[in-house]
Amino acid sequence: MLCAQFRKDRIQNIQTFDEHKYTLGFYLGFNNNDFKIDLKNNGQDILVDTEVGFNVGLVGDMRLNSFLNLRFEPGLHFTRRVLNFPGFAPDSPDATRDVQSTYVHFPLLLKVSAKRLNNFKPFLVGGLSTSINLASDEDSKDDNTAGVFRLKTNTYYYELGFGIDFYTEYFKFTPSIRGIFALNDELVRDNNPNSPWTGNIESLKSRGVFINFTFQ
């Protein structure tokens, strides 16, 4: 009886928010990006040290029905990874490459929500995305012999994640976690096919985890 009474008296915030056809917002968050590296021949792995990066972007949401939303979330992602190559002396400058990237990211996502319960609603999200790496050095004539580790400018991904919408008195707050996985090989190989940095790499693809906090 008390439980039923509690649910009955619970006040729902911004009750008509999800009835809007279009809504806008922004997000702030963090990322931890890695590389998935496949080698041509067996040998020592190339190790990747990662750091926590920063995300910021906009959200455009289109309501399809009570449970489906189409979302466009363009943003900027800043990330840093350090590659550790085998075959060099540990203190050699050639043993590591510092890869700092700034991505302009364009994901198109489908959000599948559960039924709203009081002032929160869980959801799953997934979709495809592309990004432009502003620090790729793809067109640089220098390669690793000059200390330049080159990546392709354009990358394509699939994304999967989940989160919870929290309805406050004035806005909707949404923490979410999403995995991102590159579909194409991002590596621009050195001019020498037997390069000790890129010669044994079959493919190099980004993968990472995003934790975003969205305000709508």
Residue 14 located in a structural domain: no
* CATH code for the domain in which residue 47 is found: 2.40.160
Residue 9 located in a structural domain: no
pLDDT in tens, 25-46: 999 999 999 999 999 888 788 9
13-17, 109-113, 195-199 — most confident range: 109-113
> Average of pLDDT values for 196-208?
94
**How many domains, the chain?**
1
Residue 177 located in a structural domain: yes
Residue 6 located in a structural domain: no
Residue 205 located in a structural domain: yes
Residue 67 located in a structural domain: yes
pLDDT at position 43: 77
pLDDT in tens, 1-19: 444 444 555 788 888 888 8
Share above pLDDT 90 across residues of the chain, in percent, rounded to a whole number:
79
> Average of pLDDT values for 98-123?
95
Average pLDDT, the chain: 92
Domain that holds residue 110: 26-215
| Torsion over CA: 161, 113, 128, 175 (sign) | negative
pLDDT at position 18: 84
> How many Cβ atoms sit within 10 Å of the Cβ of residue 166?
14
> Average of pLDDT values for 72-90?
93
Nearest to 212 by CA among 61, 17, 56: 56
Residue 185 located in a structural domain: yes
Token pair in block for residue 35: 């590389």
| Torsion over CA: 81, 87, 89, 94 (sign) | negative
pLDDT at position 179: 97
